[in-house]
Structure 1
């Protein structure tokens, strides 16, 4: 009887340790590379955007971080016509730093579906966001699944989903999203450029996952549930072990 009880105790302890290990194991990172250039080229009207993404080195940054990003990204892609509708010289008058900020303003540090954007809390942080309330986008619903997007300078609609699959969503916009911080009433596209802030980088990288946006992972609830299940299993095993030990003593 004592031998059988000892064997059962060893078996339960082994199972307990395996359950704890599985509960604490990190979730696997998203696999598979996303080719953003191919997505935009397939759309057929994003030549200017692709060039800006490459010139500012943000194309490489986005594609690289998507390989290990647990939150994903959302890109609002202005068409070539949207860029052509800007005032003459609007882009050329921007410094390299400000071109980077303009591109980052079109990217959110979280994956959003159309349904998410209908109910999201405004303002939504972008990759250009430096502090609370700056460089943000505002979304409002207008019947059905129609989403309006406003920057404080321009307002437009999301017209087409070029891709809506985690970890990357890409939505067409027919206007360039001009940030208030660059194109507000106190700034003009033809005025002399203000000096860049001390210590600013010419090609700032997209903030690392977990630092930018402050948004929870879309899969965070699943991770919490798995951890809770693991703890419940472990608790049950401990109780069972205690009962067996009591029985063995009798």
Structure 2
């Protein structure tokens, strides 16, 4: 009987005991994921962070990977990657293109490196264009835009719901340029007939000059003939 009473009173005793309450596991804090902190810890993403803030995409991306049930993946170009772009390539983009460039570096789903080795291409991004992933030696993963291909070298974070991967080239969209290394258009070909009006003589001009010379000879011959006839009349 006493043991039965003790069992019934045990839950009440645990609730009243502050020490037992202190030993209970606390709920996990929310909102710990911070893309800015992850990139700052990497210490070579100053340009990317500035672009994220200038385009006002930083807060939107952070809200999405916290609320999206499928997670989120970010491909982070290093400062050297931006410096290796052709001169003026980044500054030559419109504000809307800069937004699309940032969105092209993020996918609305969590992908581990092993996932990227077997994923179906193209992989959907936040932009209108997809990315293609291929495997190399070992577990190497390459990502391609159609004009740029680069190996994923380092995982800054690889834990659901957020994966952040370092890339040593900017994932330049094919829609922005036919060639990421030479965005300037090629010089236009010369138009046909551009040599019109040159001093090169034509066959017609040669014939004209010959005709003028012939007329001069005929006039001279007529004057001589007229002079001879005049002399014969005088003598007769």
Do these two structures clear the TM 0.5 threshold for a shared fold by scoring above it? Answer: yes
Bigger Rg, structure 1 or 2: 2
Which consecutive unaligned segments of at least 5 residues does structure 2 have? 1-28, 186-236
Counterpart of 1:152 in structure 2 is 146
Within 2, Cα distance between the matches of 1:186 and 1:91? 11
* Aligned residue runs from structure 1 range 25-174, under 5 A: 31-129=30-128, 135-174=129-168
Task: Kindly state the Cα deviation for residue 154 of structure 1 after the two structures are TM-superposed.
Answer: 0.6
The higher-RCO structure (CA 8 Å, 6+ apart) is 1
Cα separation, 2, equivalents of 1:154 and 1:78: 12
The answer to whether the 8 A contact 1:31-1:68 is kept is: no
What are the Cα deviations for residues 141-187 of structure 1, in whole angstroms up to 9, with x where unaligned? 11221001110011100000000011110000000000111122599
Single out whichever of 62-71 and 52-61 deviates more from structure 2: 62-71
Q: Alpha-carbon deviations, 1:188-216, whole Å to 9, x = none?
A: 6456xxxxxxxxxxxxxxxxxxxxxxxxx
Taking the aligned partners of 1:154 and 1:66, their CA distance within structure 2 comes to: 26
Q: Following TM superposition, by how much is the alpha carbon of 1:77 offset from its aligned partner in structure 2, in angstroms?
A: 0.4
Distance 1:109 1:58 in 2: 14
Shift of 1:80: 0.2
Partners of 1:44 and 1:190 lie apart in 2 by: 32
Deviation at 1:37, TM superposition (A): 0.5
Secondary structure, counterpart of 1:123 in structure 2: coil
Counterpart position of 1:195: none
SS of 1:110's partner is coil
SS of residue paired to 1:144: coil
- Equivalent pairs, count: 157
- Alignment root-mean-square deviation, CA: 2.0
TM-score by length of 1: 0.60
**4+ runs deviating over 6 angstroms:** none
Deviation at 1:126, TM superposition (A): 0.7
Whole-Å Cα distance in 1 between the matches of residues 45 and 179 of structure 2?
28
- TM-score computed with the length of structure 2 as normaliser: 0.63
1:68 Cα deviation after fit: 1.5
Preserved contact between residue 93 and residue 189 of structure 1 (Cα < 8 Å): no
Deviation at residue 109 of structure 1 after TM alignment: 1.0
Q: Is the 8 A contact 1:107 1:127 kept in 2?
A: yes
Contact 1:33/1:67, CA 8 A, preserved across alignment: no
Distance 1:87 1:110 in 2: 31
